[in-house]
Chain A
């Protein structure tokens, strides 16, 4: 069966450090992968999209890697800040446009 797995345990890091979140998938051949941020009581907010032929994508303090051989994406936040505390969701689609989401990893950045 198709699965998208993200660390279910919350990730606690100190302000200024780099946070690394993992997304693993099975039985997908995604054309692209997206990362979203979700704050409590709100809808997800798009952060980054990376395509199957791209190895790495950067946006300000964010970096995403995509390894289709390992079937894994890593999401990095450098110089983390308490305002980065949220749940981060990985999403992908085989074809078409409907996304399948992981359950998300909760990140807590402490001062």
Chain B
């Protein structure tokens, strides 16, 4: 079956430009997560969506970062006025999240963002 997909796979942008990264989760997964992975660093949590609940935005590094999830499925991560330190691989994951239960996360292949 189809896994988590992300687009684009690679994005090169100039400093100061805005970028949008897209994530299509696995059908039926209610939870969606965004992480980023910088060179030599671990995965850093950014934001979490669960059903119709308000998203957990506690990991967003600045107000230049925002994300939305439309119709409980596709999500878009937007970075405004990109900076060189935003260069990283942005990973999306989805999971079945049912109250009181914990499930593994399924990751997409990531979007490699390079800010020049």
Contact = CB atoms under 8 A, between A and B. Distances in A.
B113 to A, nearest CB: 14
A89 B48 contact: no
Interface residues of B, number: 27
A44 B93 CA distance: 9
A103 B38 CA distance: 10
Nearest to A100: B45
A32 B104 CA distance: 11
B70 interface: no
A102 B50 contact: no
A79 interface: no
A96 interface: yes
A99 B102 contact: no
Contacts of A32: 102
B65 interface: no
A4 B95 CA distance: 22
Given A31-B102, A34-B104, A103-B41, 18 more contacts: A41-B109, A42-B109, A44-B91, A44-B105, A45-B107, A46-B104, A46-B105, A49-B102, A97-B48, A98-B56, A99-B43, A99-B45, A99-B105, A101-B42, A101-B43, A101-B44, A102-B42, A104-B42
Interface of A: 4, 31-32, 34, 41-46, 49, 51, 89, 91, 96-104
